[in-house]
Amino acid sequence: MDLSGYAYDVGARDSAGQAVPRDRNAAWQREALRYLTSGSATLMVRTVGNGFDETTERTLDDTTATVLERRGVRVLVPGEVPVG
């Protein structure tokens, strides 16, 4: 599933009807984190221009482990990867 589609369903507009960019959309940030950490792994293809704010990026870094990274594509798993 493409996470960017959530931008149209989750808080895409403020109370005045104005568009809210993803990086300033708290509802979208929460949903993105929920979605990206809900499975056994996440494939991150877009690492630039993905709409994540600094807090979301930091939370992803703190709560997932990168098990593979090639050509800008990252595979993340929740928690820490066992060593050994």
Whether residue 83 lies inside any domain: the answer is no
> Tell me, what's the pLDDT at 1?
53
Domain that holds residue 22: 3-78
Whether residue 73 lies inside any domain: the answer is yes
Instruction: pLDDT tens for the chain, 84 residues: list them.
Output: 567 666 566 667 777 888 888 888 888 888 888 888 888 888 888 767 788 999 999 998 888 888 888 887 888 888 765 554
Number of folded domains that form the chain? 1
Sheet order of strands, 64-70 included: 42-44, 73-78, 64-70
0.85 surpassed by pTM:
no
Whether residue 32 lies inside any domain: the answer is yes
Whether residue 35 lies inside any domain: the answer is yes
> Tell me, what's the pLDDT at 53?
93
Whether residue 84 lies inside any domain: the answer is no
The string of DSSP codes covering 5-31 is GHHHHSS-B-TTS-B--GGG-HHHHHH
> Tell me, what's the pLDDT at 7?
58
Whether residue 33 lies inside any domain: the answer is yes
> Tell me, what's the pLDDT at 54?
93
Whether residue 61 lies inside any domain: the answer is yes
